[in-house]
Amino acid sequence: MDKNAASRSVMQHLYPAIDPFDQRMLDVGDGHKVYVEQCGNPNGVPVVVCHGGPGGGCSPAMRRYFDPDIYRIVLFDQRGCGRSRPHASVKDNTTWHLIADMELIRATLDIEKWVVFGGSWGATLALLYAQTHPQAAAFLALRGVFLMTQAELTWFYGGGAGQFWPDLWKRFTDLVPEDEHDDLIGAYHRRLFSGDMMQETRYARAWASWENALASIDSEGMVGESPGEYARAFARLENHYFKNAGFLEVDGQIMRDLPKIAHIPAKIVQGRYDMICPPTSAWHLAQAWPQATLKMVPKAGHALSEVGISAELVRTMDQIGRNPKQLGL
């Protein structure tokens, strides 16, 4: 299927494009201002969208997974990316800062409880947010689960995924000397934070290209080069978080703390052929979570834009929207 045909197929499952009824820059402290927008029904069921990356930012398409007559849709660009400022900054930028930002957004918008929707790193953030503030999360809708473990990082930056894409892996690794290949996250970190804007942008584009090429099952590894400004924020933030193991206390923290959210219902949507976040994480999460349901989507990879994944997420949100009272909303 060609890319345009795939895009048209995805659009058939989404709600029509909408504009925000509220846009603001929220001062979250530490010199950061976070972009926040609201769309849909101002009196509707609140849902907050955690975008991927870290560093990916929100897009207008993310508004379209929710019935605008039913949902009050809250999108925000996490610190340092998208429309948030300062751009590409990693200062005072950790998982716990982002969780505190989400709570500030919730309080500022006077929302008691909301549905938390996120994919990839957004799923990581959604899970950690709910484990930190279980009283605020009514339901978790997760896609392409990433549990922020060393095993997952080793898979993607230690050669696991490279066994399926040896040509793209070689292009990614050839940019650093062979004696640094045992720690590619560290090797790229030194170049992404070198202070040389041209070098940072070059390595940022390579970092982003490695991930983007493997995101969609239909791409066959063929993706265009990311704009320099976007790539630099995406790569610097993602690398910063991964170098610091997501700022978690211990490896496996999300699974350790799963009892904190065992009572919260959840739907996990996972592509069977996800090369970035292999399905084993989603499967183990669902096995250990009594209130979670796992939908494994055949012939789908990692991207939110995969046809089967988009259709299942919209279906999930429609089901929740029909009876929000059962979630206390």
- Catalytic residue set: 120, 274, 302
Nearest by Cα to 274 from 145, 122, 142: 145
Cα–Cα distance, 249 to 205 (Å, whole number): 30
How many Cβ atoms from other residues are within 10 Å of residue 189's Cβ? 19
Burial class (CB in 10 A: 0-12, 13-18, 19+), 184: buried
Do β-strands 45-50 and 114-119 pair in parallel, antiparallel, or remain unpaired? parallel
Residues contacting residue 259 through CB under 8 Å, at least 6 positions apart: none
Radius of gyration of the chain (CA): 19
Nearest by Cα to 280 from 153, 144, 119, 139: 144
Cα–Cα distance, 146 to 208 (Å, whole number): 17
